[in-house]
Amino acid sequence: MNPSLKAKLNQVKLIVSDVDGILTDGTMFIGDGIELKQFTVEDGAGAAFSRLAGIPVALISGRYSKATEIRAKEMKIEHCYQGSLDKLTPFAEICEFYNVAPNEVAYVGDGLIDIPVMEKVEISVTVPHAHPLVKEAAIHETKLSGGQGVLREVVEWILHAQGRHREVLENMRKNIYKA
């Protein structure tokens, strides 16, 4: 890994992610008064792994969805902003709450409305199916596509670069398997 990228990854103290196209594949099933989205347990594991590492995760979605609200609570994600195409305002609020600078944030997005935030951070990540302009704004593209465990992949990528992956894994084992 290039030393400059490793140095930037070592500064990450917060992960902020889009939802549709990242935690999901972007598909929505909408019926008579009900909306369904498909999430993977892998991203829940990624959020838990990140928490164990002391790196909080926050979500910003341009669209409101009760399904996203429920999933964020299940994943123990405290900050889940929804329903605004302006992602810079909630991003600033999240940074202020966690007392981090934009260069200490990794942002994961796939759509055009993610670009303004991606341009504010040092670590901007996208997925293989992202809009071409988003790929230009990103410094890293995941192997997995949205809905397949992108958050978990990003968390592990950061922790490997920080040299903390094994330590956090051992911490997880101690917390889960207290036998």
Note the pLDDT tens digit of each residue in 37-70.
Answer: 999 999 999 999 999 999 999 999 999 999 999 9
Domain ranges (residues) in the chain = 3-174
- The residue among 174 and 70 whose pLDDT is bigger is 70
Note the pLDDT tens digit of each residue in 83-130.
Answer: 999 999 999 999 999 999 999 999 999 999 999 999 999 999 999 999
The C-alpha atoms of residue 30 and residue 61 are separated, in whole angstroms, by: 18
Amino acid identity, position 82: Q
- What kind of architecture, by CATH, is found in domain 3-174? 3-Layer(aba) Sandwich (3.40)
Cα dist from 140 to 23, 42, 81, whole Å: 17, 20, 24
Check residue 179 and give its pLDDT. Answer: 53
